[in-house]
Amino acid sequence: MISEIERFNLAIFILGSLGSLLVMREFKYFFSFAVGSAIMILNFRFLRKIIEGTFLGPEVNRMELIKLPIKFLILAGLVVVILMFGDVNIPLFVTGLSTVFFSIVLYQLTTLFSRPRRKEDGA
């Protein structure tokens, strides 16, 4: 499931970046969406590695629990630096940051409509 969400997220990243470049025709808009989406892809990958390394193993890895707030602060700092010093379009940057949400919704919709239907007799 998580791998499928990552694939949807990558597809949204590519299509959204190309779409913003083709529709807006300015690098600023492309950069805003692409950087926001890339940050979320990186964040999702970090969280996946932390969950797999910490909670899915035979014992809880305490070092990964210490790394979690550090990685969060690095990503939050990256967002602050980009907003302060980068020439970004805020709505497209926030849309890029929302790509994981869009990926999860898309994954849920595809699983909802791709489930095999039961026969009328209930079997």
pTM of the model: 0.78
pLDDT of residue 123: 55
Cα(82)–Cα(63) distance, integer angstroms: 29
Pick from 47, 43, 69: nearest CA to 56: 47
Cα(37)–Cα(32) distance, integer angstroms: 9
Per-residue pLDDT reduced to its tens digit, 43-99? 888 888 777 776 666 776 677 677 778 888 988 899 999 989 988 999 999 999 999
